[in-house]
Amino acid sequence: MKLLGSLLGMTIMFGASVAQAEGTAISAKVIDTCLSSLDRESDKRVCVGQAARDCAQAGDLGACLNAEIAYWEARLNVGFGMALDRALGKDSDAESLELEPRDQAGALRTAQESWNTYRSATCAFEQTLWETGTATSPESQGCHLYLTAEQTFYLEAVALIE
């Protein structure tokens, strides 16, 4: 449910907010504090979008959403790097121990590419459901925001598996 939840609230609360040049920075601390308050069973997605909503109280919603998307993109890249390091290590272990060769790193790269295509196609579909129908609408941005954050959580989790 990438398009649901907070977006409606966002549009209602901030639809009339005026664009301002300042105040478009999001607070990474808001995200970290939220995530660290969750127990293991909780859905991490509740922590996505809050920083953009906070930011939009003083700034432009579109710019705030872009700022939070950029945050998750950066974090996604870090998570992917960690997962790739781990996969390369496993591949190299298998080689040096003369185990059945496996290309875990290649499988991870393929998975990540296919996820990227999936995100584009999903958000393009959702975009057709909204009357504005533009990639820069808050709804379309919300789709990218949630999907990017979800994949970040996934990569961060697989990177930690021993």
Partner 1 sequence: MLKILAFAAGIATTTAASADDLARFTPRATETCLAAMVEDQNPTSCIGASANVCMETTEGGWSTYGMSQCLDQELQYWDARLNTSYKTVRAKRKATDAEMAELGSAAPSQGDALKNMQRAWISYRDATCDYERSQWGGGTGGGPATVSCLMYMTAEQALYLEADGLVD
CB of 65 to partner 1, least distance (A): 19
CB of 58 to partner 1, least distance (A): 27
Give me the helices (H) in the chain, please: 6-14, 28-36, 50-56, 61-96, 104-129, 138-159
Q: What's 133's DSSP letter?
A: -
CB of 40 to partner 1, least distance (A): 11
Based on CB atoms, which residue is closest to partner 1, 29 or 40?
A: 40
CB 25 within 8 A of CB 65: no
Based on CB atoms, which residue is closest to partner 1, 60 or 80?
A: 80
Based on CB atoms, which residue is closest to partner 1, 24 or 127?
A: 127
CB of 19 to partner 1, least distance (A): 27
Cα 138 to chain centroid distance, Å, stands at 15
Based on CB atoms, which residue is closest to partner 1, 74 or 107?
A: 107
Binding site for partner 1 (CB under 8 A): 1-4, 41, 43-46, 87, 90, 94, 99-100, 102-104, 107-108, 110-111, 113-115, 117-118, 120-122, 124-125, 127-129, 133, 150, 153-154, 157-158, 161
64-85 burial, b at 16+ Cβ within 10 Å, e below that, comes to: bbbbbbebbeebbeebbeebbe
| Residue showing tokens 């954050």 | 149
Q: How many CA atoms lie within 13 A of 3 on its CB side?
A: 14
